[in-house]
DNA sequence: TGTCAACTGGACTCGCGGTACAGTGGGAAG
DNA sequence: CTTCCCACTGTACCGCGAGTCCAGTTGACA
């Protein structure tokens, strides 16, 4: 039982690294099998097909990402209790984190599966969808909290603003991959941060 | 000669539609061949392999996209001569356009190739890169023009701001595909527009 | 001692990308 | 009228990767 968990996890680890590096389609089962030092039969014992692998990977990714956000904004909250400043600190931490992990951000996988969706089954697509909807809800909640304290300077759709966090990260990662630069995603987040600062700037209330 | 051009264009048209719908990898050569009513041999007569097809498609996409931006901002310029207002109008037009073309935005292809890049050769990757650098240059130029008239309220990296146009579009399209909604990209552009309005808002100079 | 989970190993099918190449039909050049 | 070549057609063939099937092995635990 323990050995099973180990092998399964090992497969996921190796697949994860390969997929982040090369993309899902470019990662062959033979390669994973060789990396994990198991037989092809062993692979199919754990995952009925490549879709099942994709599903398991996505589930892990999303859980990791959620935990990361939880941790990030919890740390930000410790540093400042104000919802706006907490958000700004959290985004700063996120930007720094993205600069440190060169290619390996889970977000990749969302975009990657979104653009090859016909290769995946409904389960994978639905996981993808739920992940983004989850982030929308999370950030919309935070922005609504901010808006109660700082009235937005321009009217904004809060769902769209929540989506913008994911969108800016995804878009930044696309740029980063295509340009072969390494800090585009973090720069995009810093610009989004500037947007929030301006959007929720206090209305000429001097200190 | 004329017939050659026709067949080549027909292949590109059919491939384009299929790729926008399903992604590059999910589009088989057999399918394109059937759609274009030619033989497999005929396909390979025009394109030495799938990479050559990808390159030709990308070139067309990028040219179309550039022409689209040219046209869009030329129309915006006719409506208003001020660089900031021209930008805001252009983005509004872009958002409207994105809402009208449900899935078929060229931007897809950039992101799609970026995430499967190991499947493509250096030529394709370089095309991709140059396209994004071209847009960076284009929009940075426009933002610098704006900044000469309206001093930005917060310091911003002009390259990153230029990239943000592409990034927001790409990110929006990723969300749109994953969520199976249809107006995310245009909403993200409208939010970016709000950002620009705040960033370049005149400093309390009454009219 | 027997059972079961967790594999191994090998043989096989299928679809897809890609190669090779012989042949063909039509239009322009001589 | 012939010749040539461009733009194909059609067929046979290869290799790779996904996925199936299944018989057999090994070690832990009841």
Closest C1' nucleotide to B8's CA: D7
Does the pLDDT at position A46 exceed 90? yes
Q: What is the pLDDT of residue A114?
A: 77
Q: What are the contacts of A80-84 at 24+ separation with CB within 8 A?
A: A82/A149, A83/A142, A83/A145, A83/A146, A83/A149, A84/A146, A84/A149, A84/A150, A84/A196, A84/A200
Nearest to A164 among B116, B117, B191 (CB): B191
Closest C1' nucleotide to A8's CA: C6
What does residue B24 show for φ and ψ, rounded to 5 degrees? -65, -45
pLDDT in tens, A25-36: 899 999 999 999
CB pair distance less than 8 Å for B23 and A180: no
Hey, how many other C-beta atoms are within 10 angstroms of the C-beta on B126?
13
Cβ burial of B92 (10 Å; 0-12, 13-18, 19+) is middle
Q: What is the pLDDT of residue B175?
A: 92
Torsion of CA B65, B70, B71, B74, to 10 degrees: 160
Residue A124 and residue A54 in contact, taking contact as beta carbons nearer than 8 Å: yes
pLDDT more than 90, % of chain A: 76
Q: What is the pLDDT of residue A23?
A: 84
pLDDT in tens, B8-31: 999 999 999 998 888 888 999 999
Q: At A21, is the pLDDT very low, low, confident or very high (cuts 50, 70, 90)? A: confident
Q: At A106, is the pLDDT very low, low, confident or very high (cuts 50, 70, 90)? A: low
Give the whole-angstrom CA distance, residue B22 versus residue A112. 13
Does the pLDDT at position A205 exceed 70? no
Q: What is the pLDDT of residue A204?
A: 67
Query: Which chain A residue has the Cα nearest residue B158?
Result: A191
Does the pLDDT at position A90 exceed 70? yes
pLDDT in tens, A173-200: 889 988 988 899 999 999 999 999 999 9
Does the pLDDT at position A138 exceed 80? yes
Does the pLDDT at position A66 exceed 70? yes
Q: What is the pLDDT of residue B177?
A: 87
Q: At A1, is the pLDDT very low, low, confident or very high (cuts 50, 70, 90)? A: very low
Give the whole-angstrom CA distance, residue B76 versus residue A105. 38
Residue A158 and residue B162 in contact, taking contact as beta carbons nearer than 8 Å: no
Q: What is the pLDDT of residue B112?
A: 74
Nearest to B163 among A129, A156, A188 (CB): A188
Nearest to B115 among A115, A187, A199 (CB): A115
Residue B160 and residue A96 in contact, taking contact as beta carbons nearer than 8 Å: no
CA–C1' gap, B24 and C13, in angstroms: 25
End-to-end Cα spacing for chain B: 62
Closest C1' nucleotide to A53's CA: D18
CB pair distance less than 8 Å for A184 and B197: no
Give the whole-angstrom CA distance, residue B165 versus residue B162. 6
How confident is the prediction for chain B on average, in pLDDT? 91
**Mind giving me the DSSP string for A57-109?**
HHHHHHHHHHHHHHHHHHHHHHH--SHHHHHHHHHHHHHHHHHHSSS--THHH
Give the whole-angstrom CA distance, residue A24 versus residue A99. 23
Q: At A207, is the pLDDT very low, low, confident or very high (cuts 50, 70, 90)? A: very low
Give the dihedral sign, CA A163/A167/A170/A176. negative
Chain A to chain B Cβ contacts (< 8 Å) = 166
Q: What is the pLDDT of residue B106?
A: 57
- Write down how long chain B is: 207
Average pLDDT over residues A156-182: 94
End-to-end Cα spacing for chain A: 62
Q: What domains appear along chain B, each with residue ranges and CATH number?
A: 1-47 (1.10.10.60), 51-199 (1.10.357.10)
Q: What is the pLDDT of residue B77?
A: 97
Query: Testing the interface with B: which of A18, A104, A118, A171 to mutate, by most B Cβ within 10 A?
Result: A171
Low-confidence stretches of chain B (pLDDT beneath 70): 1-5, 102-108, 204-207
**Helix and strand tally (H, E) in chain B?**
9, 0
């Amino acid at each position: 039982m323990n050995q099973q968990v180990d092998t399964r996890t090992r497969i996921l680890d190796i697949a994860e690294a390969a997929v982040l590096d090369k993309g899902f389609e470019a990662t062959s089962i033979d390669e994973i099998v060789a990396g994990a030092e198991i037989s092809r039969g062993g692979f199919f014992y754990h995952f009925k097909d490549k879709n099942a692998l994709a599903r398991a990977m996505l589930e892990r990714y999303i859980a990791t990402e959620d935990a990361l956000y939880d941790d990030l904004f919890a740390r930000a909250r410790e540093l400042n209790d104000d919802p706006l400043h907490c958000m700004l600190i959290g985004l700063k931490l996120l930007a720094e984190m993205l600069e440190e992990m060169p290619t390996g951000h889970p977000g990749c996988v969302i975009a990657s599966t979104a653009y090859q969706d016909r290769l995946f089954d409904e389960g994978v697509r639905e996981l993808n969808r739920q992940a983004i909807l989850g982030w929308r809800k999370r950030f919309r909640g935070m922005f609504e909290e901010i808006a109660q304290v700082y009235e937005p300077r321009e009217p904004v759709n809060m769902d769209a603003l929540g989506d913008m966090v994911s969108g800016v990260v995804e878009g930044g990662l696309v740029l980063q991959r295509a340009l072969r630069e390494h800090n585009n995603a973090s720069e995009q987040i810093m610009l989004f941060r500037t947007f929030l600062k301006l959007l929720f700037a206090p209305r000429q209330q001097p200190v």
